[in-house]
Structure 1
Amino acid sequence: MATLSACPSPPWPNPNPDSNPNPNFLGDQSQTLDLDSIMPRQSILPQHKGVDDDSNSQGDTTSQELPAPKPMLPSLLQLSFNQDQACFAAATDNGFRIYNCDPFRELFRREFDGANGTTCGIGHVEMLFRCNILALVGGGSNPQYPPKKMMIWDDHQGRCIGELSFRAAVRGVRLRRDRIIVILEQKIFLYNFADLKLLHQIETVANPKGLCAISHLADSLVLACPGLHKGQIRVEHYALKRTKFISAHDSRIACFALTLDGQLVATASTKGTLVRIFDTVNGTLLQEVCGIFNF
């Protein structure tokens, strides 16, 4: 069961970038939001202090300052692409970073400081296309947020504007312009984006990786998730009000992906020898690719 925190007025930003006059903070230079004013661009690695030339010229010329120890890079906890595959987000043990795919470059980062010089981690970050709304879940040894909460982060304001709390750890999040999907180990919750109203909940087999896929066309919503049995995929066609169970593999499901319209699903098992493509409406096996895959 999830609980919703109170949000400031107005209760919720418009999640649809197409209808928001200034939605993008990752887009072109015509936007009004100045990223540099929100987060000064910093090097990934802090600069080492070099030898002070003035002090060395006046002191013992044979002495040298030892080089500073190499700083530790943050640990990567999770990666996820945005809905059109143009960007991806990296969750780390000190925050999150957003990268552009082509050309590849870091767009910006958020780092969260804890007490006594520590940093706080994000275990999962999910983008909504290129707009300012992201979903965050705390993670790592020092989580920024409780792992049983899903936070809605508005990067325009630089703060969380809402949250959903659960009785178990959140394993994953998926976003559409009109829906939020939160994945627990054995349940999936579907919410309306505008008011966070719970629309549907689904029971699944044990799903520690938070496997779930959704379509992204505006006129159809298709959700794929593990079924209640090993190797089974459950597909929800919400526009058709139809549920389809597909016995995809004999072994446990390792990963799967939907097409943008949700009409096809590609699946792979932990055995790692086959990728199968199914029609999601009738469950027909359309193609099978043999090989050795490491999932």
Structure 2
Amino acid sequence: METLSAFPSPPWPNPNPNSNPSPNPNPNPNPNPPSAVADSSSSERFDSDSVSSVDPTGLSPAVEPPASQPSLLHLSFNQDHGCFAAGTDRGFRIYNCDPFREIFRRDFDRGGGVGVVEMLFRCNILALVGGGPDPQYPPNKVMIWDDHQSRCIGELSFRSAVRGVRLQRDRIIVILEQKVFVYNFADLKLLHQIETIANPKGLCAVSQLSTSLVLVCPGLQKGQVRVEHYASRRTKFIMAHDSRIACFALTTNGQLLATASTKGTLVRIFNTFDGNLLQEVRRGADRAEIYSLAFSSTAQWLAVSSDKGTVHVFSLKVNSGSLGNDMSHQNDSSLSVAPSGSSFSFIKGVLPKYFKSEWSVAQFRLHEGSQYVVAFGHQKNTVVILGMDGSFYRCQFDSVNGGEMTQLEYHNFLMPEEAF
């Protein structure tokens, strides 16, 4: 049976961040927190303005030896795509996307491998899982790291290896090979347990913008996804593909879901409330491994990266209404598909499906075979691409004419900080 523990001191910090911190942020929006009073020092943020050059513990961040670069084990964006985290065989690093800069790094003296680093917006609380040939922590534990104190303040232990972690303002979601656990962030109380089909990649997506939690994970059948609407206590199963699910992504409010299978040719967009298929777009004709899917903040665009070395941007024809509204207050009819206006509509049903497919409007070419994750940048019509080779790209696409994207910026984020 899975076990959990929280270190007795200091008091559990409140994880509710504010992406626009004020000089005196309220560390706890809940007037009746279920645990001890939050440590007010935990309100430190990881933005470029608030990160102090003085470590609160009196310890300076470790300096990267010039002789060699670390090996990357993990890459992930934070919830608003304004930062990203890198797990290495020596520790972990946090970067700001716009402007690009390394915010800080933590390299451990012994071992040091971190296979999962999950950020909570720009809060100083991180979730870490050991990884690599010499892991810093057991791979079957989720360590709650408070970077204000530069130490772990809690842990969740399991019988099998942790495949992934997702954080929401008041929830910790832990993904194992065939189970998903949902915990309350404040006291580490287990709230929900879900069984899934084999999920070695730790696939899971959670909503962030709305006050209610929408969670998506693999179902119990090949090609099936399970959608949990916690506010309305509804569970929806969607048969998204005939093949196994390879990747999926949610809009920030949890209204729309994009899925791709192991074939990697088609990406489908669903309404998570009723499970209806709203749109289908084609990445290509041949098989590909989809590495990441990402919606733009307005759900107007969808970005896709794969092992073919091309990042695609698709135009979405879904009218999702006000994405800031809570899902429980949405009318099902607010999610609809606009007419595609295909020039082949007059012979619909005659041409093979391939020729009627919706193709990407913009593309960016990378090294084929390398693994990249993608997200939309905060600048208009831009995407940010991260590579497991340490590459950082910022590109811009033409929303009217499409075509090849323009590269605006490139960095190797594994280089020593002074080289930036």
After TM superposition, the score normalised by the length of structure 2 is 0.61
Measured after TM superposition, the shift of residue 291 of structure 1 is 2.1
The match for 2:99 is 103
Correspondence 1:251 to 2:243:
yes
Q: Is the 8 A contact 1:273 1:291 kept in 2?
A: yes
* One of 69, 72, 76 as aligned partner of 1:80: 76
| Equivalent residues in 2 for 1:52-71, closer than 5 Å | 71=67
- The residue identity in structure 1 corresponding to 2:249 is A
2 CA distance for matches of 1:106 and 1:204? 37
- The residue identity in structure 2 corresponding to 1:16 is N
Q: Is the 8 A contact 2:48 2:96 kept in 1?
A: no
The match for 2:342 is none
Correspondence 1:281 to 2:281:
no
The match for 1:231 is 223
Q: Is the 8 A contact 2:62 2:107 kept in 1?
A: no
Measured after TM superposition, the shift of residue 38 of structure 1 is 4.3
* Identity value in percent: 72
The match for 2:411 is none
SS of corresponding position for 1:196: coil
- Larger deviation, residues 85-94 vs 19-28: 19-28
1 CA distance for matches of 2:50 and 2:193? 40
Measured after TM superposition, the shift of residue 31 of structure 1 is 6.3
Measured after TM superposition, the shift of residue 26 of structure 1 is 1.3
2 CA distance for matches of 1:30 and 1:90? 20
Measured after TM superposition, the shift of residue 146 of structure 1 is 0.4
| Equivalent residues in 2 for 1:7-26, closer than 5 Å | 7-18=7-18, 19-20=26-27, 23-26=43-46
2 CA distance for matches of 1:41 and 1:29? 21
The match for 2:203 is 211
1 CA distance for matches of 2:53 and 2:5? 27
Q: Is the 8 A contact 1:82 1:128 kept in 2?
A: yes
The match for 2:49 is 29
- The residue identity in structure 2 corresponding to 1:24 is E
Counterparts in 2 of 1:30 and 1:206: CA distance versus 1, 3 Å: closer
Aligned alpha-carbon RMSD (Å): 1.8
Measured after TM superposition, the shift of residue 25 of structure 1 is 3.3
2 CA distance for matches of 1:179 and 1:96? 22
In structure 1, stretches of 5+ residues that fail to align are: 47-70
- The residue identity in structure 2 corresponding to 1:39 is S
Measured after TM superposition, the shift of residue 136 of structure 1 is 0.3
1 CA distance for matches of 2:106 and 2:54? 15
| Equivalent residues in 2 for 1:25-174, closer than 5 Å | 25-29=45-49, 34-35=54-55, 38-40=59-61, 42=63, 44-46=64-66, 71-114=67-110, 119-174=111-166
Q: Which has the larger radius of gyration?
A: 1
1 CA distance for matches of 2:245 and 2:96? 30
Counterparts in 2 of 1:240 and 1:30: CA distance versus 1, 3 Å: same
Correspondence 1:222 to 2:218:
no
Counterparts in 2 of 1:274 and 1:12: CA distance versus 1, 3 Å: same
After TM superposition, the score normalised by the length of structure 1 is 0.85
1 CA distance for matches of 2:107 and 2:242? 43
- The residue identity in structure 2 corresponding to 1:29 is D
Counterparts in 2 of 1:74 and 1:104: CA distance versus 1, 3 Å: same
- The residue identity in structure 1 corresponding to 2:150 is G
The match for 1:272 is 264
Counterparts in 2 of 1:284 and 1:135: CA distance versus 1, 3 Å: same
Deviation per CA, 1:49-103, whole angstroms, max 9, x where unpaired? xxxxxxxxxxxxxxxxxxxxxx332111111111111000011111011111111
* One of 171, 174, 180 as aligned partner of 1:179: 171
In structure 2, stretches of 5+ residues that fail to align are: 19-25, 28-39, 291-420
Measured after TM superposition, the shift of residue 30 of structure 1 is 5.0
